[in-house]
């Protein structure tokens, strides 16, 4: 059972490295706000969110519906893979500045 699980995950890793051609969508953090706040992405496809934090302070991108969380250090970029998503709205926020940093992914 262990062996089988290991083999399966190894295969998955290899296939993961092979298929890098996904949709890339930029998302900017500036003054503790997301731009765009409504992020439209194609439904039913894997999407690479490239989050560019232009503030000097770190931010944590978080979303329960997307089941994602990631710290983006100040003045740097980070990638988060989401989907394939069914059409719909998926809210996200910045954990460290929740008052202003709010946004929503719209899969369509």
Partner 1 sequence: MLGAAIIVFRETLEAALLIGIIAAATRGLPARNRWLALGIAAGLGGSLAVAGLTEQIAEWADGVGQELFNAIVLGIAVVMLAWHNIWMSRHGREMAAQARSVGQRVREGSAELSAIATVIALAVLREGAETVLFLYGMASGGTLEGRSALLGGGLGLAGGIVVGSALYAGLVRIPIGRLFTITGGLLLLMASGMAGQMARNLIQGNLINTDSTPLWDTSSLLPMDSLTGSLLHILAGYEARPSATQAIFYAATFCIILTGMRLARPGTRVFR
Q: Does 100 bind partner 1 (CB under 8 A)?
A: no
User: Rounded distance, CA 105 to CA 92, Å?
Assistant: 7
User: Rounded distance, CA 103 to CA 86, Å?
Assistant: 18
Among 23, 76, 88, 100, binds partner 1 (CB under 8 A): 76
Among 23, 26, 54, 79, binds partner 1 (CB under 8 A): 79
**Which CB sits closer to partner 1, 33 or 46?**
46
Looking at residues 21 to 50 of the shown chain, list those that interact with partner 1 (rule: CB under 8 A): 22, 46, 48, 50
Q: Minimum distance from CB of 89 to partner 1 (Å)?
A: 13
Rg (CA), the chain: 16
**Which CB sits closer to partner 1, 54 or 65?**
65
For 29, counting Cβ atoms within 10 Å of its Cβ (0-12 exposed, 13-18 middle, 19+ buried), the class is buried
Strands (E), 31-101: 33-35, 38-41, 47-53, 59-63, 68-72, 76-82, 88-94
Enumerate binding residues for partner 1 (CB under 8 A).
Answer: 1-2, 5, 9, 12-13, 15-16, 18-20, 22, 46, 48, 50, 56-58, 60, 64-65, 67-68, 70-74, 76-84, 86, 95-96, 98-99
């Amino acid at each position: 059972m262990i062996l089988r699980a290991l083999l399966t995950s190894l295969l998955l890793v290899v296939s993961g490295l092979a298929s890098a051609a996904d949709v890339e969508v930029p998302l900017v953090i500036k003054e503790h706000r997301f731009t765009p706040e409504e992020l439209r992405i194609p439904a039913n496809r894997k999407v690479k969110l490239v989050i560019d934090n232009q503030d000097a302070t770190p931010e944590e991108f978080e979303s329960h519906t997307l089941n994602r969380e990631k710290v983006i250090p100040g003045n740097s970029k980070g990638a988060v893979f989401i989907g394939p998503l069914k059409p719909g709205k998926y809210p996200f926020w910045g954990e460290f500045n929740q008052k202003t940093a709010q946004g929503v992914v719209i899969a369509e």
